Structure 1
Amino acid sequence: MLNAVPVDAPEIDLTQLERLIGAVETVFRGKRETVRLSLAALLARGHLLFEDIPGVGKTTLARALTAALGLEFRRIQFTSDLLPSDVLGVSVYNPRTHEFETRPGPMFTNVVLADEINRAPPRTQSGLLEAMQEGRVTIDERSFELPRPFLVMATQNPLEQHGTYPLPESQLDRFMMRLSIGYPDADEERNVILQSAGGSDAIDRIRPVLDPASVLVLQERVDTVHADASIVDYLMAIIAATRSEPRFRAGASTRGAIALLRAARGYALVDGREFLVPDDVRRLAVPVLAHRLLPAGASAATGEAYAEAVSVLEELLGRIAVPV
């Protein structure tokens, strides 16, 4: 297994995370909060779903974050003819040895960019999502552990739905957060355009701030971030509000509640703290919960349904008392 954490791994200074974010921002400009949320998901052992139009920087973010963390990166372009074996790997018969040899697929890396995941058929989507959930893949009845740390950053185009296979709610639930990058502001976009005119890839100049073993140490530290009872009660009040809200067909699941607590802990660590504050839970509630909630009048998890879920959830958050 790649990148196992050593027993004598050193303690990590949390100020290194601020340096890491700064390194990513040298090429992914004007979206600091997106970088922070992406890093929080990685530290919380979650996965990310980005819904954005092409060309706003999803690949740049994935590559820059990978480079700053000293990890390995692969991109998979999902298409309608992609098979599960194209993603996970396949066994091939070797006539010289008279044995089957396993050839690992592109999933065997640290950071996977699953580009336009909704263009792949459901069987391929399920294979990817099972690997995300289990941290391993099965090829011809043999189980293989995926490298650690492991992060999937999947993308969807919200505008082009012809010929796609939308992820059902049960599979959307596998993603810890759903994010949108959006357009940069005018000044940052000007800098990006001028930077690209040089013809060189600025990502290649990013030097690792951390290494894989350090990331694993930080993932372990997420579990130790202190959550006061009042903050856990606040989180549970949010979950309960989604379950009693008639505008939702069903409220957030227990898995969603666990994801919210883990994501909030990861976000606190990125902020340099080893304790939760109420704002951590409130800030993460929409990215973690909105894609798990289906409005009562919606028949599928469309972009319109998600926007409505965000609106209702933000209204609920405004009504729930925040602990002092």
Structure 2
Amino acid sequence: MKKKNFLLFFLDNLIWFIDIGLIIAFVSIQPTLIMPKNLISMIYSVSMLGFLVLAQAIVLISGNFDLSVGAIAGFSSVIAALTFERWIPGLPAPLLILIMLFVGVAVGFYNGFFIAKLNINPFLQTLGTNILFYGLMLILGGGTLFTIPSGIITPGGGMVGKSFVPIAVPFLIIIAILVHYLLSLTPLGRKIYAVGSNKEASRACGINVEKTIMSVFILSGLLSSIGGLIYTGYMSCVTMDMAQNDLFSSFAGAIIGGVALTGGRGKISGVFGGILLLGILEIGLTILRVPATWRQAMNGLVLVAAILINTYQAKWKGIVLAR
């Protein structure tokens, strides 16, 4: 019985064992990696991507997916930058942040309305949103925007007091805890899991499936716009291709963290482990001096590995439980 419980624990927390194994492997190559500052850097290097992973995880758990998380992050940042630079010069940073969040929620509502109310395929809808808003970024922005107030830079580029801890790191952890609470301990969270497991059964049980799906995409838009805020601070500018290359990494982080592609399964603790894995690989590949031209291929391998692990994890658990 103890062996069975351990195997189940191992499979449920597989991502953390993978993280520990990778850290040990990279530490054997570069011992200084174990220093607290470097460990913090692992999380910071993917802190902005982490918000997109959380957004993607919520949508996947609901049985959908969102190809527009990067576009929402970029578009909300462009709107904030243009508002400060051209439309309402000198607008205070707190109001600009509220504008960013409002844009994220609005685009999330747009996606949710078409998918939930008009029954548009989520792949086609969010792909269209991705193309549309990256195009609008180019039309409105024209090029990289550098006139950004310090209040917008601080969340993604500032430090906690005089420490070596970037503000983005505890911010990501706090948001991850809040998302965990939402999914695990609120009625909306239970509805999201139920809809992801079986829409028709959920509808038969009295759950408003359409409203739940709209809520999911609104949350995804909100988290993506927060990600845009962190991207802006991290780079100290707004580029016209912001987060464009991180779309599939957002899938990889959620899937390798244990979120089921079929919906209805996944824990934020595992998703955070998936985010950390991406950070470990980022720092590890830097230590190994892997050329930037190889990084995209490595990200592809991570996504393939994530899908394989996700596919067989449930089967392995079934075998263990059947014994």
Q: TM-score range with shorter-chain normalisation?
A: under 0.3
Name the structure where strand makes up a greater proportion of residues: 1
Q: TM-score, normalised by structure 1?
A: 0.24
Q: TM-score, normalised by structure 2?
A: 0.24
Name the structure where helix makes up a greater proportion of residues: 2
Flag the structure with more relative contact order, 1 or 2, with Cα contacts below 8 A and sequence separation at least 6. 2
